Chains A and B, each alone.
Chain A
Amino acid sequence: MAKSRADIEADVRDVLVDALGVDEDDVVATATLKGDLGAESIDYLDIVFRLEKKFSTPEKPFKIAQGELFPENLMTDPSLVESGKVTAKGIALLKEKVPHVDVSEFEKDPQITKLPNHFTVKSLCDFVQRKLGA
């Protein structure tokens, strides 16, 4: 049976509590992984591994490709980032590749260093829900 949104939110909360050592009450939809929950670079890999484990079933493995959840590799291309700002081409690519991130807010001030501020608990839940439904 398909997981409900509430089930997904509960499972994502478990993953973040285990990966980041945060309090369950702090894992709210609007919390950002970096700013609010204190995620550091290696934590993103930990989160990816844990999501895969949590949402895999014997019938349907849940595999997350590199850059699929967090677009770290997209942003090393010089045509996508100029003087620390994501270009229009980069924004278009983000919208296509990481639709779980609210790029409309980010594009108002598209400094690459601010991109992690737009990764929220909701982004993760949206990602999982879309991927499970696919």
Chain B
Amino acid sequence: MRWMWIDRVIAFEPRTRLVAVKNVSLAEEHLHQHFAADGALPPCPVMPSSLILEGMAQTAGILVGSVHGFREKVVLAKVVSATFERDVNPGETIRYDASIERMDDMGASTVGIVDRFSFADNAWAPVGRIELMFSHLDQNRAGVEFPEENFVFGENFRTLLEGAGLRKFSV
């Protein structure tokens, strides 16, 4: 399994906003454990909130990385807040809408809205809101040396960037 929790970037406003979607599939192994049948209780596959958070971190992280042409090593430094009000089930689509609130050389803060599309309801509905802080690793190294190679935006992300037409922002 590859550690990618978004499928496609669907909207991009440079330096400002990035929107990505993920289709939740019953083929994902983790959904069979979260939650498996237990005695009289039937199985209840729901997308774990921790992975929804990771999806938002990837969405917002790409947005923050794009500002400096993916040269900076952008790492998630802090989950400022994360609130969830609705489950996401297999067969539904998650939409991550991330915006940069503030950014400087040291890092950035982002605000993200999570929605889900349900074919049963034929409508989008709110799932949650996630505020994150990202750090530019090389600006905050505190004496620690990191590899020159940008291990944050590696090969895996190229597929996403190609699909979104974002490669031109990569240097």
- A-to-B contact residues, CB < 8 Å: 18-19, 41-43, 45-46, 49, 52-53, 66
Contact = CB atoms under 8 A, between A and B. Distances in A.
A122 to B, nearest CB: 24
Nearest to A63: B104
- Prevailing SS type, chain A contact patch: helix
B105 A46 contact: no
Contacts of B78: 42-43, 46
B102 interface: yes
Contacts of B140: 41-42
19 contacts: A18-B80, A41-B140, A41-B142, A42-B78, A42-B107, A45-B77, A45-B107, A45-B133, A45-B135, A46-B78, A46-B133, A49-B101, A49-B109, A52-B102, A53-B101, A53-B102, A66-B104, A66-B105, A66-B106
Interface residues of B, number: 14
Contacts of A43: 78
Contacts of B105: 66
User: For the complex, would chain B's binding face be called helix, strand, loop or mixed by DSSP majority?
Assistant: strand
Contacts of A19: 80
Q: Which 3 A-B pairs have the closest CB atoms?
A: A42-B77, A49-B102, A42-B78
A53 B111 CA distance: 14
B135 A42 contact: yes
Interface of B: 77-78, 80, 101-102, 104-107, 109, 133, 135, 140, 142
Nearest to B77: A42
Contacts of A18: 80
Contacts of A53: 101-102
A118 B101 CA distance: 30
B101 to A, nearest CB: 7
A64 to B, nearest CB: 9
A56 B102 CA distance: 13
Contacts of A66: 104-106
Contacts of B101: 49, 53
A41 B140 CA distance: 9
